[in-house]
Amino acid sequence: QSVLTQPPSVSGAPGQRVNISCTGSTSNIGAGYDVHWYRHLPGTAPKLLMYGNINRPSGVPDRFSGSKSGTSASLAITGLQGEDEADYYCQSYDSSLRGDVFGTGTKVTVL
Partner 1 sequence: QVQVEESGPGLVKPSETLSLICSVSGGSVSDNSYYWSWIRQPPGKGLEWLGYIHHSGYSNYSPSLKSRVTMSVDTSKNQVSLKLISVTAADTAVYHCAREGGCSRGICYSSSWFDPWGQGTLVTVSS
Q: Which residues bind partner 1 (CB under 8 A)?
A: 2, 32-36, 38, 40, 43-48, 51-52, 55, 57, 89, 91-93, 97-105
Q: Which is nearer to partner 1, 1 or 111 (CB)?
A: 1
Closest distance between partner 1 and the C-beta of residue 16, in Å?
A: 25
Q: Which is nearer to partner 1, 82 or 99 (CB)?
A: 99
Residue 66, CB half-sphere, CA atoms under 13 Å: how many?
25
Closest distance between partner 1 and the C-beta of residue 111, in Å?
A: 23
Closest distance between partner 1 and the C-beta of residue 19, in Å?
A: 19
* CB-CB neighbours of 79 under 10 Å: 13
Closest distance between partner 1 and the C-beta of residue 39, in Å?
A: 11
- Cα 51 to Cα 94: distance, rounded to the nearest angstrom: 16
Neighbouring residues of 83: CB distance < 8 A, sequence distance ≥ 6: none
Q: Which is nearer to partner 1, 40 or 63 (CB)?
A: 40
- Cα 88 to Cα 27: distance, rounded to the nearest angstrom: 22
Q: Which of 83, 88, 93, 40 is nearest to 61 (CA)?
A: 83
